[in-house]
Amino acid sequence: MFGNWLKTSLLMAAIVALFGAIGFFIGGQNGMLIALLVAAAMNLFAYWNSDKMVLHMYHAQEVDAHSGGRFYQIVAELAQRAGLPMPRVYIIDEPQPNAFATGRNPAHAAVAATTGIMNLLSERELRGVMAHELTHVRHRDTLISTLSATVAGAISMLANFGMFFGGRDSEGRSVNPALAILVMIVAPLAAMLIQMAISRAREFGADAGGAEISDDPEALASALRKIEAYAHGVPLPAAEAHPETAQMMIINPLSGGGIAGLFATHPPTEERVARLLQMARGG
């Protein structure tokens, strides 16, 4: 666990440093300072408001013990097993099978699942999926993924700004236009790769924690197989419109078309399943 957190911390430091470096490239030392201040302000805003923003993007509807039925009961049971406060529970009326967790900490967490995943999975498999999402809450992955997505998006915005106004060296002189274009193309790609490395590292941990909470690694493995088989053939419009949120889902919700298909937000499902089945065998 410590190694996983160390890796994530180093990756988060790298993505913030990249943001500062782009600021330095555009405006020298003052540009770097401004960029880092902007990154801090954006992360502070994301810390307080990210859960509301994401749930609104997906038109998620909150349910309670009465309207949420058995799904709500499953989440309540698993939260108790995990030693977590009861999160807010949401349902998304979409046919693609998927689920995610959000919120800045366990006391302000929410879990959401699509109607598609509830229709596709057995109750045992659904328990495995929601245990996976509650592990994200317990590990505070929801905050980490939000902050990394915010800074990665800001790097792309800053790169677009630099594309128009060019870069400056340490003495304030304009840099070679070809170099400026190269940096402004490479920086967003590097930010995406760092963000996705953070996401992949957290998914393996959530799978292991979900198997532990549900005490049923085979059920989660079976659920991942089913979701993988169905999800990519069924569009999820909110994810396509906001691809930066794809990393939050239990399985990549994007169709794979265009540039988004070139980057993996999740580890290979086959590897995740293999690890879970090894856990089931006591390995």
d(CA 198, CA 201): 5
Q: Which SS3 state, helix, strand or coil, does residue 247 take?
A: helix
268 φ/ψ angles, rounded to the nearest 5 degrees: -60, 135
Look up residue 223 and give its two tokens.
Answer: 């659920």
d(CA 246, CA 199): 10
| 248, 54 Cβ separation under 8 angstroms | yes
For residue 142, give the nearest of 193, 105, 176, 168 by alpha carbon.
Answer: 105
Residue 78 C-alpha from the chain's centroid: 21
First to last CA, the chain: 17
Q: Dihedral (C-alpha) 160, 161, 162, 166: value to the nearest 10 degrees?
A: 120
**Side chain identity at 140, as an amino acid letter?**
R
d(CA 17, CA 236): 33
For residue 227, give the nearest of 73, 118, 111 by alpha carbon.
Answer: 118
Q: Which SS3 state, helix, strand or coil, does residue 249 take?
A: strand
d(CA 277, CA 216): 10
Would strands 61-63 and 99-103 be described as parallel, antiparallel, or unpaired?
unpaired
Would strands 61-63 and 109-114 be described as parallel, antiparallel, or unpaired?
unpaired
Residues belonging to the active site: 133
| 116, 94 Cβ separation under 8 angstroms | yes
